Every structure is written in structure tokens, then in C-alpha cells.
Chain A
Amino acid sequence: QVQLRQWGAGLLKASETLSLTCVVHGESFNDFYWNWIRQPPGKGLEWIGEIDHSGTSNYNPSLKSRVSISVDASKNQFSLRLSSVTAADTAVYYCARVMRSWLKTWFDPWGQGTQVTVSS
């Protein structure tokens, strides 16, 4: 059974770069796309982007100019970098696997979440 564990800095100052990493245990890393999703306090979920083992990535157009997702398949890890953060980037950040089958897609499982707070 696959498990995702994530870590990274939880407190940033405005204009700094957010950096988070997620490690995948128990499943073939190379067979899936791996995602980052965030949730601002009291708000809904927002998809940030995804990457596969080869480095092929897709990003949310609204964040694309500031986001970079990288992968280290040798360690079953993928990472998120978000530059020039502001208070609007304060959120719980989740990593998750996406499954795809014909016309179906779904996120499962999810990491435990990391609270990131940006102070001015």
C-alpha cells in the first residue's frame, strides 16, 4: 500500500521561496503522476501541478510563472518550489498520487499535509 510523507519549511517571509518534498513508499514510483495541491485557511482545494518520473510536468496556469516541480526518481521523491510568496500563498500543502483510467481520474492517497505560513 502506497504512503506519502511530506516535509518542508512551515514559516516563510514574503518574497521568499517555498520548498516542500514528498517521498513515496510502497508503490512503483515510475507508473504514476505525482501532484501538489493546496488549501488556504477556510477555503477550498487548489491543484498546483504534477510530475512523472521522467520529469514531464503540468502546472496550474494561475501559478505557472512561480511554480516548479522536480523529481528524483532514484529516491522516490518529488519536490515543489513556489517563488516570490505572499500572504495569499499561506495554506496547507498536500502531495498526492493521481490515478488515471480511461475517462476516470482520482487522487489517492494523500500526504499528511504541511502548513505553510507566509508573514509580511
Chain B
Amino acid sequence: SSELTQDPAVSVALGQTVRITCQGDILRNYYASWYQQKPGQAPLLVMYGKNNRPSGIPDRFSGSSSGNTASLTITGAQAEDEADYYCCSRDSSDNQYVFGTGTKVTVL
């Protein structure tokens, strides 16, 4: 089955930059989307496509993609960015969606 792999946890100092990566072969065919999830809340879309931010998402969030790896970068991390982040993409071979394993971001 298809998989998307993320680092389990990363930490970043307040105001610094952190990059979250997502790896998997299905990313060669479809871009990843990225979701922020805070405790007790539903996931929130923060990035999709090559580098598309939904309305209301701060511009300190940016996305990129190369080969089998997608990245979400937070430039100037804020305390409110502390959350779990999940990537997701489509597996066109069997019409299913696959979520990444998730990364817990801690803002120090």
C-alpha cells in the first residue's frame, strides 16, 4: 500500500524557521496538501498544490515539492503554530487518498 512518511516531531524557536517534510512515491503524481490540527479540533487546511494558501492562512506558511518529497515551511514561527501537521495526497493507481504519519511541531 502507498505511504507518506513524516518526521514524528520537530521543534523551532519562536520567530525562527521550520521545514516539515513528507516523502512518498505518490507525490510524483499529485501535489500534497497540508493540514494543521490542534488538540480537540478538526484538521485545518493550510496549504495545497504547488504553493497555494487558503484564505486566512498567514503568509508565513509556504509549500514546495520536488520528486517524491513535499515540504511545508513556517517562516517566523509563532506560538499559535504549535500543532500536529499532516500531509495528504492522492494515489491515482487505486483512487484513494493517503495521509502522512504526522509531525508534531513544538514552538520553544
Contacts and interface: CB of A to CB of B under 8 A. Distances in A.
A106 B30 contact: no
Interface stretch (A19-27, A82-90, A110-118): A110-118
B42 A113 contact: yes
Contacts, number: 73
B65 to A, nearest CB: 10
Interface residues of A, number: 27
Contacts of B95: 58
A-side binding surface: helix, strand, loop or mixed? strand
Given A94-B42, A110-B43, A103 B30 contact: yes
Given A58-B96, A61-B1, A111 B49 contact: no
A98 B33 CA distance: 11
Contact of B90 (A44, A46, A105, A111): A105
Nearest to B6: A44
Interface in B48-70: 48-50, 52, 54
Contacts of A50: 97
A108 interface: yes
A108 B54 contact: yes
